[in-house]
Structure 1
Amino acid sequence: MERMTLEEFRATQQAPGGPDKDRRRVRGTKRTITPDGITHDSKTEAQRWEELKLLQEAGEICGLRRQVDIGLIGRDGPVMTDSGKQQRVYKADFVYVDNALGITVIEDRKGHETDVFKLKKAILAAQGVEIHITRAKG
């Protein structure tokens, strides 16, 4: 087995195409930029953003936000990162108020549910937070 120095390892982690190139990529998704210049993690997320903007313009929803951090809380308090210095978060694709129902909606656009997503979804459910999952049609 070939050994490498710490500096060589770090270089592979930071090199273009290396593991840290884009850790959020899932199953071939490609970053997409919408006409308003916002970069989204996938084409379907970008499409949903455009749909939600139209719903907001029509007055069906309000307070539309994207990439909203929601802290994860366990039985004994905040779920911390391995270092113990930061609280782990779930990053919601979209958060908005449904005007007809009068409720805040936390929405995630998914093509595939990863194990990490399933775990965070379960933690949020234990906190009483429901995630509305939308999928691309077709």
Structure 2
Amino acid sequence: MGLTSTDGTTPMTLCTNHEDVNFNCQDYNNHYSLCTSLTPTLQNIAWTRCPKFCNLCGVNGTAPTQFTLTGTTTLPPCIDHDSRCSKATYKNLLCNPNAVPDTKKYAIQTCPLTCNYCTEYYGMYYVRNH
């Protein structure tokens, strides 16, 4: 039996983290202060990927409703999450089209703007989770 909202019609989802082998809430919080970040992109990730970890769950442990991306919702800006992204040596290593898959995943997660991986970034964080 699932939970329903107070109007008795809308199903409510339990609040959980959405981690996988490429994304860990604790790691993101350690590296980027995910749960307390003021940047729109990191706030969105906290709400959509780590609501339980970041203590963003609603009443009775239900999923938060902020940042639900549907239909015509505008995505947050594509930004870099490390100030080193624009440095030449860092950029050359990460943005290399022949980089090994783990390096490319890191570049997508960390330097999407500099490496021109915004499409992949949004696909990694928003499309597959909504």
User: How high is the TM-score relative to the length of structure 2?
Assistant: 0.27
| Higher relative contact order (Cα pairs below 8 Å, separated by 6+ residues) | 2
Larger Rg: 1
The structure richer in strand per residue is 1
